[in-house]
């Protein structure tokens, strides 16, 4: 089971969250991208751009935060955070 937790933060408060779950035998990278797509669809957001700092943070901690500089459109929150919470 692979689970990715998506959270929207505003003023240091958790505003909204959801968990993406998948049991496919696909690669971790594909699961992360599918999970991020599903989270963005659920939150009605455009897909964020992976900057070098996001990639490095995700590789080290299985967690990444996307701020305004990762989005093309204006966002009404501080950041979107994704975190792998379970993987086999």
Residues of the domain holding 39: 2-86
pLDDT tens, position by position, 20-43: 999 999 999 999 999 999 999 999
Domains held by the chain: number: 1
pLDDT tens, position by position, 41-78: 999 999 999 999 999 999 999 999 999 999 999 999 99
DSSP letters along 51-75, please? -HHHHHHHHHHSEEEE-GGG-SS--
Strand, helix or coil at 49? coil
The answer to whether the beta carbons of residues 20 and 80 sit under 8 Å apart is no
Residue with the bigger pLDDT between 43 and 87: it is: 43
Please tell me whether the overall predicted TM-score, pTM, comes out greater than 0.85 for this model: yes
Both structure tokens of 86: 């379970």
């Amino acid at each position: 089971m692979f689970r990715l937790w998506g959270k929207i933060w505003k003023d240091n408060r958790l505003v909204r969250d959801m968990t993406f779950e998948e049991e496919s035998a696909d690669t971790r990278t594909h699961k992360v991208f599918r999970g991020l797509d599903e989270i963005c669809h659920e939150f009605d957001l455009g897909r964020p751009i992976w900057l070098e700092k996001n990639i490095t943070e995700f590789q080290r901690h299985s967690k990444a935060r996307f701020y305004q500089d990762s989005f093309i459109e204006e966002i009404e929150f501080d950041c979107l955070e994704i975190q792998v919470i379970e993987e086999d």
